[in-house]
């Protein structure tokens, strides 16, 4: 038989999923900080709307780009939350989660063999999608010393004539950085100068603790930004698999054709759940973010007291912890931590080349899990410090 596509054979797995697989094979009593699974169940009014839709037979195909009334509801909510944006239903395509929205953009705008600029550290699926599209990942570094903000001079040194797409992510997974207007305007000028399309991953736009989220598209006067968002994190709907992208109507039409070829349409029942999420009470969103803020404060206090080096996250629900000087790379550290303390974290290397000396810990789980898990990380770091060959990097950076 002819062999499988080489791109698939050589594609790495996400290190997050690898750790999850190890945890699943272990006995109980593992503190799980490796994945961004919100602690709360989907709010009741959302689940009821989906149940009612299914009970009433709303289980058939929908339009390829999603139900018009759901897209209109999302457009109205965006206009309310971000007045600088005034989308209509024609500016939206509903997708099977934010992951698929990103994949549509990569497939549509990155030509085979060309390059996609990806934040480093950044969510591992950016790299996986680039490989899927037969494109080359081009990592632009985000340095801890600069609070993981982009340095345009470095992007200028990296960009090539065959670069097609720039990925921007704020609030960030894994660093928790929230980019300000100056950061965003600089990235847009860079994209203009090099005629790049920009995909802005704003899945954590409602999970902000300091500052405010500014949609990149609200600063875009050229129509080059495509925004990706999801219901997974904001409404604790990870398993419902519904997201959307926001773009000009022509782009939406073209991406709808691609979506038809790949998935036909998003789930009818999930769309009704999303409509209830958008049009219903928003109290649960504020309550969840307040809870995550408390978890964040607990995590950073424990890490700071233990002498860990990190940058306080201002958004999302992750803290990126520096393990440089321990004598272990991120994968070995994550495995050893799991064995020694039964605490699961994501190895930083899965977020890009610069992540090898970091781990990512999620704090969107229960308060007790955060307390126990972060204490275990500190104990393990302390135990490595006591070894003469594994002295950690000095200094603590926990500035707000």
Q: And the tokens for 348?
A: 């930083």
Average pLDDT score, the chain: 94
Residues 365, 152: Cα–Cα separation, whole Å:
35
Per the DSSP assignment, residues forming a β-bridge with 200 are 168, 227
Residue 389 pLDDT grade (very low, low, confident, very high; cuts 50, 70, 90): low
Neighbouring C-beta atoms of residue 192, cutoff 10 Å = 14
Query: Is the model's pLDDT at 43 over the cut of 80?
Result: yes
Q: What is the pTM of this model?
A: 0.94
Report pLDDT digits (tens) over 193-251: 999 999 999 999 999 999 999 999 999 999 999 999 999 999 999 999 999 999 999 99
**Burial of 3 (C-beta count, 10 Å sphere; 0-12/13-18/19+):** exposed
Report pLDDT digits (tens) over 149-193: 999 999 999 999 999 999 999 999 999 999 999 999 999 999 999
> How far is CA 66 from each of CA 127, 233, 239, 252, 263, rounded to the nearest angstrom?
27, 20, 18, 11, 12
Helices (H), the chain: 6-9, 15-24, 44-55, 68-81, 97-109, 124-132, 152-158, 181-193, 249-263, 268-279, 283-305, 330-341, 367-385
C-beta of residue 123 within 8 angstroms of C-beta of residue 351: yes
C-beta of residue 314 within 8 angstroms of C-beta of residue 178: yes
**What residue ranges define each of the domains in the chain, with the CATH number in brackets?**
6-41+284-385 (3.90.1150.10), 49-279 (3.40.640.10)
Q: pLDDT exceeding 90 applies to what percent of the chain? A: 89
Report pLDDT digits (tens) over 82-95: 999 999 999 999 99
Per the DSSP assignment, residues forming a β-bridge with 309 are 322
Polymer length of the chain: 400
């Amino acid at each position: 038989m002819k062999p499988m596509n080489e791109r698939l054979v050589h594609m790495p797995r996400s290190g997050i999923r690898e750790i999850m697989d190890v945890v699943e094979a272990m006995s109980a009593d593992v503190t799980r900080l490796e994945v961004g699974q919100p602690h709360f169940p989907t709010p009741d009014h959302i689940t009821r709307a989906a149940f009612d839709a299914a009970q009433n037979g709303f289980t058939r195909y929908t339009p390829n780009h999603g139900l018009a009334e759901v897209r209109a509801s999302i457009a109205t909510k965006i206009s309310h939350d971000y007045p600088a944006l005034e989308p209509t239903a024609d500016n939206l395509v509903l997708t099977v989660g934010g992951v698929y929205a990103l994949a549509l953009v990569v497939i549509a705008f990155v030509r085979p063999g060309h390059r996609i600029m990806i934040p480093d550290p950044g969510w591992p699926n950016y790299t996986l999608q680039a490989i899927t599209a037969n494109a080359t990942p081009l990592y632009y570094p985000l340095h801890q010393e600069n609070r993981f903000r982009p340095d345009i001079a470095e992007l200028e040194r990296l960009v090539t004539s065959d670069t097609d797409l720039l990925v921007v992510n704020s609030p960030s997974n894994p660093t928790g950085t929230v980019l300000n207007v100056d950061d965003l305007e600089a990235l847009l000028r860079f994209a203009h100068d090099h005629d790049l399309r920009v995909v802005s991953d704003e899945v954590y736009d409602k999970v902000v603790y300091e500052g405010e989220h500014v949609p990149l598209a609200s600063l875009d006067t050229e129509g080059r930004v495509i925004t990706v968002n999801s219901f997974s994190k904001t409404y604790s709907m990870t398993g419902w698999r519904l997201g959307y992208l926001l773009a000009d109507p022509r782009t939406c039409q073209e991406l709808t054709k691609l979506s038809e070829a790949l998935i036909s349409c998003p789930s009818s029942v999930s769309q009704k759940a999303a409509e209830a999420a958008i049009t219903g009470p928003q109290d649960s969103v504020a309550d969840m973010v307040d809870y995550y803020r408390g978890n964040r404060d607990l995590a950073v206090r424990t890490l700071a007291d233990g002498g860990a080096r990190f940058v306080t996250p201002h958004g999302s629900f992750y803290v990126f912890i520096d393990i440089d000087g321990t004598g272990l790379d991120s994968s070995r550290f994550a495995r050893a931590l799991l064995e020694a303390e039964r605490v699961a974290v994501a190895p930083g290397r899965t977020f890009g080349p610069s992540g090898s000396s970091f781990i990512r810990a999620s704090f969107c789980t229960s308060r007790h899990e955060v307390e126990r898990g972060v204490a275990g990380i500190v104990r393990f770091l302390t135990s490595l410090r006591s070894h003469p060959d594994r002295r950690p990097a000095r200094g603590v950076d926990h500035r707000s």
